[in-house]
């Protein structure tokens, strides 16, 4: 069987590339004709993502969807294990979602065209001024009623553990006054590990936590909000893995009580 997998992975790669390029073109045309990004995002959720997951033999499960009101905007914050996270979240979340992503992805053919046309928020973390502009753009998306999703770890985890959440993107949620929703993904790192093209069949689980309100927070509370969200993700992830809750996540942070500087702003 091990001799078959390299050939199968090659076939999967070709299928994924053709599937993605084809549906991106359809999405771009549909959104251009409709003069709104909604058709493109709907195709990503209902066609591209489910089809891609089937191509790599992923079985997707999701819990906690009932905690979301699809009529209001949310800022989703998820752990990051694999590029499979993106189609998994597109398919699992019950609302159209825009992603916060690295600016260099905007230069990738097809993918970059789609991201720019859909209004994804592209950020250059090495350019402080650009990062500030990106936070403002993210806040404006939220004010307009769009849901936004960020991977606050900034990169994919190697060992499956949740890395420290970066704080910048949380300022957008605070400025827009929208709730932050913690999201945990489990299984994507096994289906396709970071740095590998050797995919394997598997089950991917998505757990959606209770929204964390931001209406009483100020911009300088973003580090506290990031820590509280990370703790919530760690609790959700432990539940998916049937593991004990990490000790650091047992006592959630109260932003109002911690405002004076337990964490850097």
CATH code assigned at 72 = 3.40.1130.10
Q: What is the total count of domains within the chain?
A: 1
Looking at the domain assignment, is residue 200 inside a domain? yes
| DSSP structural state of residue 60 | E
Count of beta carbons in the 10 Å neighbourhood of residue 110: 15
Looking at the domain assignment, is residue 94 inside a domain? yes
| DSSP structural state of residue 155 | S
202-208 and 97-102 strand pairing: unpaired
Backbone angles phi, psi at 205, to 5 degrees: -115, 140
Looking at the domain assignment, is residue 159 inside a domain? yes
pLDDT in tens, the chain (265 residues): 566 777 887 888 888 999 999 999 999 999 999 999 999 999 999 999 999 999 989 999 999 998 899 899 999 999 998 889 999 999 999 999 999 988 888 888 889 999 999 999 988 777 777 778 888 999 999 999 999 999 998 777 667 788 899 988 899 999 999 999 999 999 998 888 776 666 788 999 999 999 999 998 998 999 999 999 999 999 999 999 887 777 666 555 554 444 433 333 2
| DSSP structural state of residue 110 | T
Distance CA 224, CA 226 (A): 5
Distance CA 5, CA 212 (A): 43
| Site of tokens 């990062």 | 131
Distance CA 100, CA 115 (A): 10
pTM, rounded to two decimals: 0.87
């Amino acid at each position: 069987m091990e001799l078959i997998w390299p050939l199968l992975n090659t076939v999967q790669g070709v299928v994924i590339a053709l599937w993605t390029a084809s549906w991106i073109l359809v999405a771009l045309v549909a959104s251009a004709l409709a003069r709104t990004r909604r058709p493109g995002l709907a195709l990503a959720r209902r066609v591209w993502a489910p089809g891609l997951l089937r191509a790599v033999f992923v079985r997707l499960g999701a819990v906690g969807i009932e905690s979301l009101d699809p009529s209001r905007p949310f800022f989703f914050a998820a752990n990051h294990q694999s590029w499979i996270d993106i189609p998994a979240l597109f398919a699992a979340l019950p609302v159209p979602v825009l992603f916060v992503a690295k600016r260099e992805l905007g230069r990738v053919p097809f993918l970059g065209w789609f991201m720019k046309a859909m209004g994804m928020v592209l950020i250059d973390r090495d350019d402080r001024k650009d990062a500030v502009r990106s936070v403002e753009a993210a806040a404006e998306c939220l004010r307009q009623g769009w849901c936004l999703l960020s991977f606050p770890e900034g990169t994919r985890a190697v060992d499956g553990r949740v890395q420290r959440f970066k704080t910048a993107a949380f300022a957008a949620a605070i400025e827009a006054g929208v709730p932050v929703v913690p999201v945990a993904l489990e299984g994507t790192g096994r289906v396709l590990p970071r740095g590998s093209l050797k995919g394997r069949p598997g089950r991917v689980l998505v757990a959606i936590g209770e929204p964390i309100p931001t209406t009483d927070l100020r911009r300088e509370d973003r580090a506290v909000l990031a820590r509280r969200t990370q703790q919530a993700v760690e609790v959700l992830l432990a539940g998916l893995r049937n593991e004990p809750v990490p000790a650091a996540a047992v006592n959630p942070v109260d932003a109002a009580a911690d405002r004076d500087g337990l964490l850097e702003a």
